[in-house]
Each structure stands twice: as C-alpha cells, then as structure tokens.
Structure 1
Amino acid sequence: MSLYTITGAQLAFGHVALLDHADFSLEAGERVGLIGRNGAGKSSLLKIVAELARPDDGLITRQQDLVTVYVPQEPEFDGDVTVFDTVAAGLTRASALLDEYNTVAHELAETPEGAQHDALLARMNALQSSLDATDAWNWRTRVATTLAQIGLDGDAQVGSLSGGMQKRVALARALVVQPDVLLLDEPTNHLDFDGIRWLEELLVSQRAGLLFITHDRAFLDRVATRIVELDRGRLLSYPGNFSAYQTRKAQQLEVERVENEKFDKLLAQEEVWIRKGVEARRTRSVGRIARLVQMRKEREERRNVQGNVKLDVGQGEKSGKIVAELTDVTKRYGERTVVDRFSTTVMRGDKIGFVGPNGAGKTTLLKLILGELQPDDGAVRVGTNLQVAYFDQMRAQLDLEKSLADTISPGSDWVEINGQKKHVMSYLGDFLFAPERARSPVKSLSGGERNRLLLARLFARPANVLVLDEPTNDLDIPTLELLEELLTDYDGTVLLVSHDRAFLDNVVTSVIASEDAGKWREYVGGFTDWQIQRERSEQIAQKDAPKEPPKEAAPKESAAGRNAQRTVKLSFKEQRELEALPERIAALEAEQKAIGAQIEEGSIFVKDAQEGARLTERYAAIDDELLVAIERWDELESKKK
C-alpha cells in the first residue's frame, strides 16, 4: 500500500488551474523529484502532502499514523536559541509526553488507592504506550545523535550560523522526528558543493519516503528514483533519474505534437464543411455537427505547452583583448587572507567559473578582477572599453516598489536590444510576463520571477562582460537550459559564480577554485574536469610526500609486559570477540556499500517496491549495527591498554 495517495486533485489560483484532476502516490523508500515551471504549483502540492493546505477537490488517502515532516525553502528560526533547542523543537510532542508521564507518575505515588488512583494509572499506561510507539524515552539522546550525524554544534546560537549551516539545522530538526515521509522545498539553496554532496549522501541513506523540489539537475540525477513533472495541471510520472526523464519527455512531447497536428487538421476540415450551409443542415448530419461542437470544446480546453523565455543579450562594443591581468595579488580582511599571491589573465571571450565553499572569497576575487576592489599587495591591470553587466544573487538591484516596466526601462516605453527598438510590454512578454502584470510592483513576484526580471534587466543593457553571481537560484529547468545556450553563444566575457554543477559544466571553459587559506588555482574545463584534475593533483602530492620514518621496535620486555596485561584484562571470550570484530565491521561495511549501490541506481523501486523498502530499512539498520560494533571494538581495545 502507498504511504500517500491523492486522486483527482483540483486546485486553482484565480483562473489558472494548478492541479487539474491530478493523481499522485508515494511508495515507501521512494525518492521522488518534483519538477515543473515556476508558478506551476509545485510548492502548493508539497504543502498539500504536508497537510498545510487543502486541494479544492480530490480524494486523499494516507497510511494510518503516517509521520510527515516539511522543510520549507527558507526556514525561519529564532536567532537567539541554541542549535540543540531548535532541533529539539521537532520533538515537542515527545518531550511533552515525557514531562506529563513524570508528572502523572509522581502524582500516582502520592495518591491512595481509589477511583483517582485508577484514573492516573490508566493515563500513565496510555502515556507509556505513546512513548514506546514514538521512541520518546531518550529524546535528548536522539537530538544529540542527529546533531553528530549532521555535524552541528548544539551549543551554538542559530543566529550566528551561515545560510548553509541553518539549512542543516532545518534538516536536523526534520530528521530527528524519524519521519515516514520527508518533504523538501529547494534543499540545495545556500549549500556549497561540499554541503550538496553531504546532503546527497544523507538522503540516499535515509529510509523515509522523500518528495523534494529542486532545479539542480545533478542533484536530481544523484538522488531521485522517480521524476514527477507538474505540467499544465497534470502530474506525469517518469521512473528513474533526471537523465532518463529527459529522454522520455522528449518522446512524449513529439507524440503529443503529432496528435495535436492531426486533430487540428481534422477540425479545420470540419470547419470548412460546416460553412457549406445546406449540406450541413441535413438531418443525417446532426451527429457530425455534434462531433464538431465537441471538437471545438476540446480545442478550447487544450492547454498548450508554456512558451519558453526568449533570451537575447544586448551586445556592447568589443572590449580590449585582455579583460584583466592579476599579478601576485593578495587581499586580507583583518587577520584573514582571502586571496594569497594569485596571478591570472582573463582574455576577451573567456567563460570562467568561480568555485569554492561559502565565504571562501569568490565575490572578493571577482571585484579584484573588475577593478572594484584594490589589492593589499600585487598588481591588477584592468582592460580597456569594459561594459560590465552584473547579476546579483541577493537581487539588491531590484526596487520592490517599482513596476516591472519601470525596472526594465525607467521613464520610457521602449528598450533597445542590439540596435533594434522593442516595446517594453513585448520585451517583458519574452520573459513570460503577461501585459497586465507590467504595471505590478516587483514585490508581487515570486523568487523565480524576480530572477527572470533581473535577467531581463541585465540583458536589456549593452555589455561585453557578464558577471553572474548565482544566476540559477529559483530558475526553472527550461529557463536554465536556455540561459546555458545563450551564454555558450555569447561573444563577450562571462564570469560566473554558481553551485549548479551541470550549469558550470555546460557553460564555462575554465574554473578558478579555492584551495583553502586564500590559495586559488585555475583549471581548464568545467566542474567535472576540475574535480578530476584536483583528485589527480592530490594523488600525486600524496605519492611525492616524504614518508614517515619507521617507528623503532619496542623492547621485547615491553611487549611481553603488554601481553601479560592483556591476559589479565581480557578474558579468553573477550579476546576472541576482539579478533572477530574487524572482520564483522568490514562485512557490514561491504553489505551497506552493495545495498547503497542498489538504492542509488533506483530500478529496484520500480521492479519490486517492497524489496526496495526492505533494502532501505536494512541500510539504516546497518548504521546502528556498525555503531555498536565499533563502540565494542573501542571498548575492548581500551581494556588492553
């Protein structure tokens, strides 16, 4: 039986049907990636599954006592509360049950036998059952274990953490509940590459059913076992990861196109026939007329594929051949060195990706290259005739009170793109903004729509250097793919900061990467090329590193003394147990690795959902067995000393 099923769901926003008789189900152990255009209704569906919203119509079926946890795109916390207490807030009910149990137990001890005593005893038994069912007896231990698993300091204040670490706190608060279904809205936002890789490993190892929204195609490929697309009010299911979805979606759209062409051709023929008049009014043609009326209705109700954004960059004059030249550049902030003796030359037409952890100094390096920031040491030579267009990930360039039209073309109804004038309404239409929204304030837009507006504003200005700081946040996948094509064909220079691995691979020709302690290094190729080259460099460095001199052998007397101590401190049974533990730990790790490969591949959930669920549970159980085995090994080893 499915964990959750919704049948014939209907949900409308104004005159737009977000869900149009849509069906959806989630099986145990499945990891479903939910995709669709901005504004299609993905977050609305997630909130319906989380029971935070209701559809206008439709039948919902849930497994009894199903535990569902929803992590929003931008979690809100009290900044003055510790990480431990914030995560523990996910177990509010468990701690309340335990507090009540202790209170009832205390009252029971002081109440003589009688009706009140019996009532208290019944309540205590009910509380004990609830505590057993939710495993709430050791809720503090559960919180501490979850914090250790996710790598968080329980004593830190949430307000002092970066956006990426706050995202980890939100995930910890969800996972400590041990949910049956985990719902995530844009989980990779604010995470750097290491954070995204960590999240991928975490989600693949979870036994909970997973439904998540993301536009990160590499993340979808790694995590999803099924793709569900919200397309024109319908929910379409595609087994496998994102790459498999792309192939099947292309085939489906081609079939739909051919069928629509046949339908439209037949409708056109019938429209010609009905206009002949006399022949159409004959009694025997009543059925044909009725069919024509039905065909007209079907054509009117057909929801065509939403058009894509039309991107075109206003090309400026050519810049000088050298855009920027950095020689032994160093930049410090207080005691911290952000850039340490870095040299590079940026040539016209280069497309460079800047990668590194949050806070590594990518934006600082960009400003040094553009001459907006002066180095503490070294020299920066900025090229001639630079026309820079800047895309800010914080959208600080947008005035929330201005209308969309004034944002694009202040004081004028026209914009000029590559020497051709275009009405601002038509230009906004290229970015999927309807004419009636042109006078709406920017603050009425969603996150994805604001990013689209910022792109429209950016591309309306002539430029020969595009600086894009996290341009992919909140953009839907079709717009991302179109932006990739545009940047690939762009004649100017592109400086790109992004955590979208697929986007980097498809756009940049070289990568400047942070290598800790202010060190930066340039690599040829995209994100994947950088990873391969970095791994090879690390292997060579390890191979060439001087080996530690062999330790001198301990005196025989000392060894004999240790053996004597072992005999005293370890029993024969314990000694045998200790010798067997390494082999057991290795076997458990090998089993977990094999199961992990099956789960990651995902086909098991399509072939046999029950077996997929069993493997997921076994994967998590091995974690517990490994922990017990390692702790026992450590305990026995310490007794030898």
Structure 2
Amino acid sequence: MNLLNVEKMSKSYTEKILFDQVTLGINEGDKIGVIGINGTGKSTLLKMIAGIEEPDEGSLVKGKSVRVEYLAQSPDFDENLSILENVVIGKKAEEEYRNLEGEAKAMLQKLGINDFDGRIDVLSGGQKKRVALVRTLLTSAEILVLDEPTNHLDNDMAEWLEEYLNKYQGAFIMVTHDRYFLDKVTNKIVEIDKGNIYTYIANYTKFLELKAEREDMEMATERKKKSLYRMDLEWMMRGARARSTKQKAHIQRFEELRDRKVIEKQKNVEINALSSRLGKKTIEIDHISKSFNDKKLFEDFTYIFLKNDRIGIVGPNGSGKTTLLKIITGNLEPDSGSVEIGETVKIGYFSQENEYMDQNQRVIDYIREVAEYIETSDGSTSASQMLERFLFTGSMQYSLISKLSGGERRRLYLLKVLMEAPNILILDEPTNDLDIQTLSILEDYLDSFDGIVITVSHDRYFLDRIVERIFAFEDNGVIRQYEGGFTDYKEACRGEASSITAKPKSNEADNNEGSVTSKGKPKEAKLKFSYMEQKEYNEIDEVIAKLETDIEDLDKQIEESSTNYSKLNELMEQKENLEKELEEKMDRWVYLNDLAEQIENAKTKN
C-alpha cells in the first residue's frame, strides 16, 4: 500500500537547483537509503517528506492516517526535562498498550545512556543524537525519516540499530554514509544526482551494478542524440524552411536536441597522494597511561609506528579513542609515559570538529592559504585542480564558505589537511558527514599515500577497506591489537579460530615493532587476506617484473657511463635503491604466496 508520494517537486536555494520536477513514492515495507554527494539536497528531501520544509513547486501527498517521525541531524530538546522525559514526552497514546518507559530505558542503555533522570543539556552532541534516535524509534509512526542515524554510534551500537531496523515493520527513509549498514537494512536506494532522483529496487551493492547499467544506457542514448543533432545541424545549414508540417517537426526536433541537457558520465576521480619524506624515526609511544576522574582510559600502552602502518582504532564511545589521538598529536599530555616524535614527522590531523572557517572567505582562498600549487607524481597541481578533484566545481570554488552545506565544509576541511602534504595522517571519525563518493575518493587517496594512517572510525566498510591492524579499547584500560581489518577483528572476538589464527596481543606483549618483523611480515599469519594484502597479492608480480626491468636498464646505462664517474655514481646509487626495494618485494612475494597457499589448504579442509 502506498503511504506517501512526492509529486513533481522542485526546490532551489538562491541559484542552486536541488530538485527539478522530481517524483518519489514510499510504500509499506520500503526501507529506503538516500545517497548523493554533499550539497545535493539529501537532508532537504528528508525535511520536505517530514513536513519541516515546503517545496517551491509540486506537492507531497500522504494518507490521512499516515504518521511521519523525523530524526534530525541536530535534534532539539526541552532542556527543562530529564533525558527520559524528553524521550517519552507526547507519547501517551503508545503508553496505553506498551511499557514505554521500560522500552525507552532499555534502548537508552543499548546506546550508552544510563542516567535516565539526568539533564539533557549536559550531554555531548553525540549523546543527544542517540537520545533523539530512541525518541524517534519509540513512536508508532508508519514512516521513519532518519538523517544520519549511525553518526555518533560505535560499532556495537550500529549493529544493534541494524538488527532493530531489519525487524522494523514500518517503512523508513534515511540518509547514511555507512555502506555496510545500507547493504544490510535497505531494499531500495534513492540517488540524488544533478537535480534528479533515481530509484533502484536494491540494496547498496546491487545499486552499484544497476547504476552502472543506467549510466551506460544514458551515454548510449546521448551518443545517438549527438549524431542526430549533427545530421539536423547540417540540414539546417543547407537552408531548411518550415514549408511543410514534416519540415516544421524536423526543425522542432533540432531545437529540442540543441537545447537539451547534455548527459555526462560521472568521472572517476584520481588524486595522487601528497606526502613529505618520512625518516626512520616516526612516533614512539612509551608506556603511556591516561585517566579522567576515576575512569581509566588506557594504561601502560606502548607502540612504535612503522612506515606505512595502517591502524584502525575501535571501542565504545567514551573509551578514550580521541584522547589517544590528542596525546599522539601533542594536544594532550598523558598521565604517565611519553610520546616521541621523529624530526621528519609532519602530522595531518583531521579532527571530529571542523576548524574555524571564515564564512565570508571564498572556497578557493581557504585552500590557497595552504598552497597555490603542490607537487605530485604527475607534476605541479593547482589549488583549483585539487578542489575540482574533490568535487568542487569551478563555480563553487568562488562561492563563499557560508553557502556550503555542512558536508561540503567537512570535505573542504579534509582537502586542506591533505594539501598540507603530511607524512602521518590522523583521522578522527573521517566518515562522519562525508558522502559516499567523497569517501571513495579518500580511500583511493590513502591507497597510494606513502606514510602512516591512524584512524578512529565506526565505519566498518572504511576500516575493512583501509586498515591492516586494529587497536581495540577494552575494559580496564587495555588496548588490544588484532591483525587485519574490522571484519577480521570481529571474527577474532567471536573466537572463530578457523578463519583467523593470529591471536590478539595485550599491551605488555608489544615490542619495538608492534606485531611485525623488520621485513613487515606479521608474526602470525591469518588465514584470510586483508583488503590491502589482496590488492598487493594481485599486483606484486607486475611490480617485481618492473623492478627487474628497471635494474636491467640501469645495468646498460652503467656500462655506457663507465668513464663518466659523476653519472656512474648516480646510476649505482639508483641501482642499489632498486635492488633493496626488489629484495623487500621478494620477501613480500614469499609471504603472500605462503599465505595464499595456507588459505587454499584451509578451504580444502573445510
């Protein structure tokens, strides 16, 4: 049964068109995920469905008995009421047949809120969002409208919400960047792109396939229209006259083709990673401890970061993850222990909160404060080109920052951090408020980043995609290490020894190189490739072949330069570096192929 329809709706802000005559229906059982880059109008669409905003044109039609409940990105509360009172207020009808307070308390506890009678105004922004989520879920609405419901949820909380929504009997429409979450709870994807809405009866993975098919069909149609336009243009240039009905129709077709919106295929954005040279000494954490009041966050933690480490930090909200990052960056002192930073270390810190931005400053000037030009492997790249690669069009670059959406400002801040060319990137919840396309750009960037990445994230997909080791905050101040990405970590926690043989290590077991040898090989191999290992395994034969070819070429040049001592020394040094790199790659080749063989043997046994 149809619950709600958006019919021929249009919406603009100043000169920016968000929606142009779009139509959307919500039916019983629909579990809809809305995606699109920041600034395309995702939150605006939700607000119009919830009745918070009105469209410029068109209408929203819903059934007489259909109730809609809205979870805002920044929810409002009555600060004169307690946490529990804010959740149950206005829900007397539900109280008649439900133990509303009991359900509210159980949900709040699941989301880490235990002081039910506490004041709402003393909660952090993330805690308030979780209280608002409970308030929304407890309604008996036919449609839930959820704007970024997974923001500020740790991994266990996100999994609880995932399970709740899978069992939910009503319909919902939500905006979220969490791709695993989208995959598991949605049965319909709504994509907002250039003022249009495209609906796919699919979860996120299937949507990617269907979108590619749609774009291919659109491009094929566009090619046909271009051919027709060229033919009609030649006909018009020969002096066409509208003497007959047929000729008039021909001229009309030409004008329609001429004035049509040209469809452009979405470009794959490639950004060469920027970084500064990182010396042998990186960051050395030596027996640090930190507590707040009576709560022990971590105790006697030691770790030396290796070049190209990819570390993901997970744990419950409030466990001390951000505190650890602040100690590493020097923004906070440990209670005991020390952190030593190498002389060549240049940290880029992407914090949870955006830095101050002058609202009257132009977007491009904000980036130019860092650099007008930067050097990449492809040569010199301008600030404008980097902005374009980060989805800021030419016109947007000269807009004021005040005109950007919250997500666009977040993306701009991220670009500024990357433009500083750090060799150690520290990312605190980088996926919050970033759209999926920007996350894909960031992930591709990190693939080629020649430095250390340390990230706190609740985004399970992002962790699986990027990290190779997990620091897990556990009870009583313990930070425990697990090899692999987030899925590997969860499997280890469940005790699935059949898929992972590497055992977690406590802090006390850490030595100067974490859990890796000087060659970068894990001491205990897990029987599953991480994402980065799989990528390396697929490419390593070609990499080795190229290194061998380069060394052969250098040998020829060395023979030809036997009398040019200056040139000879330079070539010999290049050869020495390549041979060293080849030796390291051969070690990796042996390790990866051994691991691949173990994986195959394990599959055979199973």
Task: State whether TM-score is above 0.5.
Answer: yes
> d(CA) in 1 for partners of 2:257 and 2:315?
57
> d(CA) in 2 for partners of 1:164 and 1:425?
34
Question: Is the partner of 1:21 in helix, strand or coil?
Answer: strand
C-alpha spacing 1:429/1:383, structure 2 compared with 1 (3 Å): same
> d(CA) in 2 for partners of 1:453 and 1:329?
34
Deviations 1:418-461 (A, max 9, x none): 39555544443333334454454434321111111112211221
> d(CA) in 1 for partners of 2:332 and 2:51?
50
> d(CA) in 2 for partners of 1:377 and 1:16?
53
> d(CA) in 1 for partners of 2:324 and 2:415?
26
What are the residue-to-residue correspondences of 1:237-386 with 2, within 5 Å?
Answer: 237-275=199-237, 277-278=238-239, 286-298=248-260, 301-302=261-262, 304=264, 311-317=271-277, 319-370=278-329, 373-386=332-345
Partner of 1:38: 38
Partner of 1:189: 151
Partner of 1:145: 103
Question: Is the partner of 1:496 in helix, strand or coil?
Answer: strand
Q: Which AA in structure 1 matches 2:424?
A: V
Partner of 2:411: 452
Contact residue 143 and residue 176 of structure 1 kept, 8 A: no
> d(CA) in 1 for partners of 2:332 and 2:137?
43
Offset at 1:82?
A: 0.3
Deviations 1:598-641 (A, max 9, x none): xxxxxxxxxxxxxxxxxxxxxxxxxxxxxxxxxxxxxxxxxxxx
Contact residue 39 and residue 404 of structure 2 kept, 8 A: no
* Worse overlay, 501-510 or 371-380: 371-380
What are the residue-to-residue correspondences of 1:407-418 with 2, within 5 Å?
Answer: 407-410=366-369, 414-418=372-376
TM-score (normalised: structure 1):
0.71
User: Is residue 63 from structure 1 mapped to residue 25 from structure 2 by the alignment?
Assistant: no
Question: Is the partner of 1:3 in helix, strand or coil?
Answer: strand
Partner of 2:493: 534
Offset at 1:211?
A: 0.9
Deviations 1:394-416 (A, max 9, x none): 0125344544233212398x233
> d(CA) in 2 for partners of 1:11 and 1:341?
56
Offset at 1:476?
A: 1.3
C-alpha spacing 1:279/1:306, structure 2 compared with 1 (3 Å): same
Partner of 2:52: 52
C-alpha spacing 1:260/1:396, structure 2 compared with 1 (3 Å): same
C-alpha spacing 1:59/1:537, structure 2 compared with 1 (3 Å): closer
> d(CA) in 2 for partners of 1:375 and 1:135?
49
C-alpha spacing 1:279/1:221, structure 2 compared with 1 (3 Å): closer
Deviations 1:78-108 (A, max 9, x none): 44420122123333xx4xxxxxxxxxxxxxx
Q: Which AA in structure 1 matches 2:231?
A: Q
Q: Which AA in structure 1 matches 2:141?
A: P
C-alpha spacing 1:202/1:286, structure 2 compared with 1 (3 Å): closer
Partner of 1:465: 424
Question: Is the partner of 1:473 in helix, strand or coil?
Answer: coil
* Worse overlay, 505-514 or 531-540: 531-540
Partner of 1:523: 482
> d(CA) in 2 for partners of 1:504 and 1:462?
22
Contact residue 370 and residue 416 of structure 2 kept, 8 A: no
C-alpha spacing 1:280/1:350, structure 2 compared with 1 (3 Å): farther
Deviations 1:582-604 (A, max 9, x none): xxxxxxxxxxxxxxxxxxxxxxx
> d(CA) in 1 for partners of 2:497 and 2:323?
26
> d(CA) in 1 for partners of 2:313 and 2:141?
37
Bigger helix fraction = 1
What are the residue-to-residue correspondences of 1:62-141 with 2, within 5 Å?
Answer: 62-91=62-91, 94=92, 134=93, 137=96, 141=99
Contact residue 451 and residue 471 of structure 1 kept, 8 A: no
> d(CA) in 2 for partners of 1:512 and 1:181?
39
Between structure 1 and structure 2, the one with the greater Rg is: 1
Q: State the Cα RMSD in Å.
A: 2.9
C-alpha spacing 1:67/1:329, structure 2 compared with 1 (3 Å): same
> d(CA) in 1 for partners of 2:298 and 2:283?
16
Deviations 1:367-411 (A, max 9, x none): 444555554444544334111111112012534454423321239
Q: 1:171 is matched with which residue: 116, 133, 136?
A: 133
Instruction: Say which structure, 1 or 2, has more relative contact order (CA 8 Å, 6+ apart).
Output: 1
Q: Which AA in structure 1 matches 2:63?
A: Q
Question: Is the partner of 1:178 in helix, strand or coil?
Answer: coil
C-alpha spacing 1:73/1:374, structure 2 compared with 1 (3 Å): closer
C-alpha spacing 1:435/1:481, structure 2 compared with 1 (3 Å): closer
Partner of 1:613: none
TM-score (normalised: structure 2):
0.74
Partner of 2:512: none
Q: Which AA in structure 1 matches 2:54?
A: R
* Worse overlay, 304-313 or 76-85: 304-313
C-alpha spacing 1:210/1:278, structure 2 compared with 1 (3 Å): closer
Contact residue 406 and residue 433 of structure 2 kept, 8 A: yes
C-alpha spacing 1:54/1:509, structure 2 compared with 1 (3 Å): same
Contact residue 298 and residue 320 of structure 2 kept, 8 A: yes
> d(CA) in 1 for partners of 2:273 and 2:241?
53
Q: Which AA in structure 2 matches 1:75?
A: P
Contact residue 147 and residue 172 of structure 1 kept, 8 A: no
Offset at 1:38?
A: 1.5
Question: Is the partner of 1:190 in helix, strand or coil?
Answer: coil
> d(CA) in 1 for partners of 2:391 and 2:144?
32
Contact residue 33 and residue 173 of structure 2 kept, 8 A: yes
Offset at 1:337?
A: 2.5
> d(CA) in 2 for partners of 1:241 and 1:459?
32
Partner of 1:547: none
Contact residue 75 and residue 167 of structure 1 kept, 8 A: yes
Q: What percentage of aligned pairs have identical amino acids?
A: 35
Offset at 1:264?
A: 1.6
Partner of 2:574: none
Contact residue 28 and residue 209 of structure 1 kept, 8 A: yes
> d(CA) in 2 for partners of 1:168 and 1:376?
31
Contact residue 273 and residue 448 of structure 2 kept, 8 A: no
Offset at 1:138?
A: 6.7
Q: How many equivalent pairs are there?
A: 493
Deviations 1:104-146 (A, max 9, x none): xxxxxxxxxxxxxxxxxxxxxxxxxxxxxx456578x424433
Partner of 1:615: none
Question: Is the partner of 1:5 in helix, strand or coil?
Answer: strand
Question: Is the partner of 2:407 in helix, strand or coil?
Answer: helix
Q: Unpaired segments of 5 or more residues in structure 1?
A: 95-133, 541-641
Partner of 1:232: 194
C-alpha spacing 1:334/1:48, structure 2 compared with 1 (3 Å): closer
> d(CA) in 1 for partners of 2:427 and 2:94?
48
> d(CA) in 1 for partners of 2:465 and 2:410?
20
* Worse overlay, 306-315 or 391-400: 306-315
Question: Is the partner of 1:517 in helix, strand or coil?
Answer: helix
C-alpha spacing 1:170/1:367, structure 2 compared with 1 (3 Å): closer
